[in-house]
Amino acid sequence: MLELAILGLLKEQDLHGYELKKRLSETLGPLSSASFGSLYPALRRLEAAGALKAVEANELLVPARAVPMTGSLGGELAAFRARKPTRTSSGGRTKKVYGITTRGEELFHELLRTAGESSDDDRTFNLQLAFARHLDREARLGMLERRRAQLVERLTKARTAIRTGRDRLDMYTSSLMEHGTETTERDISWLDRLIAAEKRQEDQQ
């Protein structure tokens, strides 16, 4: 769900593709990554869906030297158009800054609520949690409980797999599975702390 990440970041601030990519890999760290090969198509998809609009197409090709003091807008435009053909095809230093639309905000909340309902993908949940502040307490609690249930199920299956494959499993595989279940247990405890904190705040209102 790259769309969710894009919309979430653009909700806070208008950004262009390259900057978006940097924030995805730095700020959101390994929670989302994403490459240009998926980012730019995603931006076009979202723009086509009316969730984004190109706020500003900042042509950095505009020379630094001052434009003649005629104040003529026509001259500006002519110069702009004249420069365009120098770009043989795509690319270059042209910035395309995107902003989120009302439709985009709606889509964002839609994705934030429903993503991860089917599919217990870790990265999707991380992304949802990273933007959980945009949800009301009830939806947030629902999301956390749903995730908890998924992890409990995963734990059950993992334990069954360990019990079933006893003896057949070599040292490395069993160590891997053991460590995996411990990690899942800790994830559940962590979720429980988040849920408890959420309910505490609910009571205090």
Partner DNA sequence: GCTCCGATGTATCGAGTCGATATATCGACC
Partner DNA sequence: GGTCGATATATCGACTCGATACATCGGAGC
Q: How far is the CB of 153 from a copy of itself (least distance, A)?
A: 11
> Interface with a copy of itself includes 165 (CB under 8 A)?
yes
| Contact string (CB under 8 A) for a copy of itself, positions 73-102, x = contact | ------------------------------
Query: Residue 167 CB, nearest distance to DNA (Å)?
Result: 23
Give the residue from 65, 60, 58, 61 showing the smallest Cα distance to 86: 61
Residue from 21, 109, 126, 139 in contact with a copy of itself (CB under 8 A): 126
> What, of a copy of itself, DNA, none, does residue 2 touch, CB below 5 to 8 Å by kind?
DNA
The answer to the question of residue 171 lying near a copy of itself (CB under 8 A) is yes
Specify the residue, 1 or 100, whose C-beta has the smaller distance to DNA: 1
DSSP characters over the chain: -HHHHHHHHHHHS-EEHHHHHHHHHTTSGGGT---HHHHHHHHHHHHHTTSEEEEE---TTS-SSPPPTT--HHHHHHHHHHHGGGS-SS-SS---EEEE-HHHHHHHHHHHHHTTSSS--HHHHHHHHHTGGGS-HHHHHHHHHHHHHHHHHHHHHHHHHHHHTTTTS-HHHHHHHHHHHHHHHHHHHHHHHHHHHHHHHHHT-
Contact string 143-172 vs DNA (x = CB under 7 A):
------------------------------
Which spans of this chain sit near a copy of itself (rule: CB under 8 A)?
26-27, 29-31, 126, 129-130, 132-133, 154, 157-158, 161, 165, 170-173, 175-177, 179-180, 182-183, 186-187, 190, 194
Which spans of this chain sit near DNA (rule: CB under 7 A)?
1-3, 16-19, 22, 33-45, 60-61, 86-97, 118-119, 121
